[in-house]
Structure 1
Amino acid sequence: MRAVQVLEFGGPEVLHVADVDEPVVGDRQILIHVDRAGVNYADTHQAENTYLSPSTVPMIPGGEVVGRTDDGRRVVALVDGGGYAERGAAFEAQSFDVPDGVDDVSALALVVQGATAWLLLHRTARLQPGESVVIHAAAGGVGSLAVQLARSLGAGNVIATASTPDKRDLALSLGADVAIDPASDDLVGALRTANGGRRVDVVLDMTGGAVTDQSVAALAPFGRLAFYGMASRQAPTPIAPASLLAHSTSVGGMWLPHAFTVAGLMPRVMTELFGLVRDGSLSVIAGGEYPLSEARRAHEDLRSRVTTGKLVLDPSR
């Protein structure tokens, strides 16, 4: 079968299409004939071997697929690598039947970005009605869904950050109350101004570096920052527990694979998200479809931050 293969770690230049053996389906797994494969920022880290879980080469990147099983089920699944291919093997426990009314791009967006946004708001940050929430990278895959979910949860003030005017306009169209540029020299001040002069209650952050540092500094007493990535590839300043005590703030992390260790959690999340898409309460932004042969371009576009919404690969091309 055709697949994107990585033989040495590096940037987008290490992604090459190759003919490889079909995956071997193990116990409690299913074979999926892939219609579309999702592209995530985590995939760029896997290609570099800078992800939370170490990679080995040769490797086929990609952690999510949507397609058909041999018995005709339409499923979306998380896979342990191997997503950028014509066929993939997935564990039944990490596969979800896609209901009618949910298209391929939406299904792929929900199984990673949607679930991430849901868990950040419900479990890590525990957003309460009336609270203010800052959503960094609000035009991206997670951010664009988090803006809508925060609004539906009754957030008092949804503050989006995005790097361009077009992206900020998109965040506003999705329900953000205000959108600002995160590159401000005084991000703490900009966030407080966006919140009516008050410190903020919740921040969802996947940027790292100075953005994380200033976001922590902008938290109100009992404020929470939910950290779920480091797109800048710059580590934030280490946080001393005493500083959290001094300001009564909390910093939490979230990595999606841990959700599968909690019995019944991911089925609940996916059922709720599928329902929101079907009834029109939640919209997935289609960020672009690339042929499998242009996976390198997809990674280049993602890393350069010119994309919005959900990116997918078409293995038939």
Structure 2
Amino acid sequence: MCVECGHTFRSMTLLSETAAHPAAVERVPTTRRYLMCEPKYFTVEYVINPWMDPDQPVDTAKAVEQWTALKETYERLGHKVETIEPEPGLPDMVFSANSGTVVDGRVLGSRFRAPQRAAEADHFRRWFLDNGYRDVVMPERINEAEGDFAWTGEVLLAGTGFRTDPGAHAEAQETLGVPVVSLHLVDPRYYHLDVALFVLSEAHDGRRAEIAYYPAAFSEGTQRVLARLFPDAVICTEEDAACLGINAVSDGRNVVLPVEATRLAAVLTARGYEPVMVDISELRKSGGGPKCCTMELRG
């Protein structure tokens, strides 16, 4: 049986089971702390991923409006949102997830592959130092932070294939002191881990972490790894991925998703999660969704 067909069959089975027992697992939200950057200077003036088209008009005011609504959504859900001041000439600084990974108060900064974004890393480094973080390490290898790193509460899932160097995975393990599992991305549309996978609930009190992911974004070997580690994962479809629906943020119960991700929202509802839909369409013109705009500050 091929890997893709196996995932499809398992997805249908899971849908049936969760629809029959939507309250089988109690979903408990946990308060989070996020770092965000207003898209004051947002535009699309270069191409570093398949979503970007400088010839397509961009409405910066609308981007700010959508970002503000996302920030207010987090605050309404009880989360704390910190902000960093945007810098002229850095239109992608709004995608704060790409600029740092924080676990237990330890910070691993970023090192961008694209020269257009390189200066962002130092602005975030200074923010961490100015806000009381002392254990801050800047990487030697290309590392696009939470764009390619996802913390499950037990292990750090680490993407590679388009942006983050494989060697950065070992660097993350040494710096953050957590075990790392390498995952290989193969579809250039889903160039970061956070547009192909997200953590729905972290491991806690003996309960395993739960994730959602789009299998076709990963190599066959990585698909087998994910199926082994997360047998009860939510299996996403091309429909979910194509609207950047997998670029989502979960607090263990509430899942913030793009408004277009209606199929994924229905699956999550059947699992006992609460989808919270937001419009992030303007920022998607640069390949970003809710998660791209959101760095989690853990500890």
| Structure with max Cα Rg | 1
Whether the TM-score (by the shorter chain) exceeds 0.5 is no
TM-score bracket, shorter-length normalisation: 0.3 to 0.5
TM-score by length of 2: 0.33
| TM-score, normalised with respect to structure 1 | 0.31
The structure with the largest strand share of the pair is 1
